[in-house]
Amino acid sequence: MTATPSAGPTRRRRRRCAAPRPGRLPRSPRAPPPRAHARARRDRTDSNVRMAVTLEEAPWLGWILVKALMRFAFMVANNLVAIPSYICYVIMLQPLRVLDSKRFWYIEGIMYKWLLGMVASWGWYAGYTVMEWGEDIKAISKDEAVMLVNHQATGDVCTLMMCLQDKGLVVAQIMWLMDHIFKYTNFGIVSLIHGDFFIRQGKSHRDQQLVFLKKHLENNYRSRGRKWIVLFPEGGFLRKRRETSQTFAKKNNLPFLTHVTLPRIGATKIILSALVARQENGSPAGGDTKELDSKSKGLQWVIDTTIAYPKAEPMDIQTWILGYRKPTVTHVHYRVFPVKDVPLETDDLTNWLYQRFTEKEDLLSHFYETGAFPPLKGHKEAVSREMTLSNMWIFLIQSITFLSGYMWYNIIQYFYHCLF
């Protein structure tokens, strides 16, 4: 019986010996395909380019690191001098608080404005400036108003500190509503003395916090000469609340928002009900009524404030302090509503707030697409105003700050040696 040779090896040999197809070069079976060669060459080229860019940028990155360390050291020194000086002045002025509380809180407000001006200057000298859009709120700087602001990052507060510096005495007479965690920062003691309100987030605390807020407004708002309130109705940062807000919107057939979240009603309702003077019966509606004299008109304006960052990249307070981001222009848009046009009933106020934040969504969408805010209703073109700080004024308050620190250090040292 003769064995028949297998056809498999013969076919394999034929394939190896076969002539190459026209237009193609012969290649080894183990060699990678031409595309793999091209991809490998491209990867090596990109790697070399990246390495070259990194080496070229090394001096620049080194300077950024050195500058950040220098800025941080200056910020620490600034706080170590300014905050204790502020506290010492407040303690020294306590007799004036008993004799003339209005004058005391006026002086305290000026010092508070200087402290916030120092924070603003940290960003100003790093090239973080503000461009303002919409209505000019300087015109109502002497009236009582509440600012409703969208919240994206900790840098929002620093941005507002900067853009309110040139609005007269607004910063001196302002009250902030902020998360309770800020109470434990270096600036917490200043905010406690000034009369800002720290609100604790979470459903378990919500009702109790609203009661505390009402009492706080009754005891501290007009008695301390406050006129503006800054409120972030979203109740937290955009990145933390967006998913929850969108889920709630789907369940309740509400607007689906991406650049903002649905606002919470509680704090806004408390502020309006406590501070709005109801004119129909000739009497004010609570809110430190004993301090609301015949010249005061109560809360008059609601300022819908929208903060937008280029490329939707928010700025945090670490960036503001260290200055490692390239110079950036933050855009702030204002719309002013007379408080008489704002409903006070819960359902109507909720719908009104939802409408405002839906409009914020449209404003931000337009900004991220075009780089500018749309014109106000009834205007053909949008007008922007560059907010500026006076370098001379910044130098003045910084000089006073460090001179005060030096003075208080010597005074405390003198009394220490006298006592011990």
pLDDT tens by residue, 95-130: 999 999 999 999 999 999 999 999 999 999 999 999
Examine the pLDDT at 289 and tell me if it is beyond 80.
no
Examine the pLDDT at 168 and tell me if it is beyond 50.
yes
> What is the CB-side half-sphere exposure of residue 364 using CA atoms within 13 A?
26
Question: Which residue, 265, 253, 283, 252, is CA-closest to 210?
Answer: 265
pTM above 0.85, yes or no: no
Q: How far is residue 216 from each of residues 28, 62, 201, 333, measured CA to CA in Å? A: 83, 48, 17, 29
* Domain annotation for the chain: domains and CATH numbers: 129-390 (3.40.1130)
Examine the pLDDT at 273 and tell me if it is beyond 60.
yes
User: 278 is written with which tokens?
Assistant: 């109801």
Query: Could you give the CA distance from residue 84 to residue 80 in angstroms, rounded to a whole number?
Result: 7
Query: Which residue is listed with tokens 């903002």?
Result: 260
pLDDT tens digits along 336-393: 999 999 999 999 999 999 999 999 999 999 999 999 999 988 788 888 999 888 899 9
pLDDT tens digits along 215-234: 999 999 999 999 999 999 99
CB 132 within 8 A of CB 332: yes
- What percent of the chain shows pLDDT beyond 90? 60
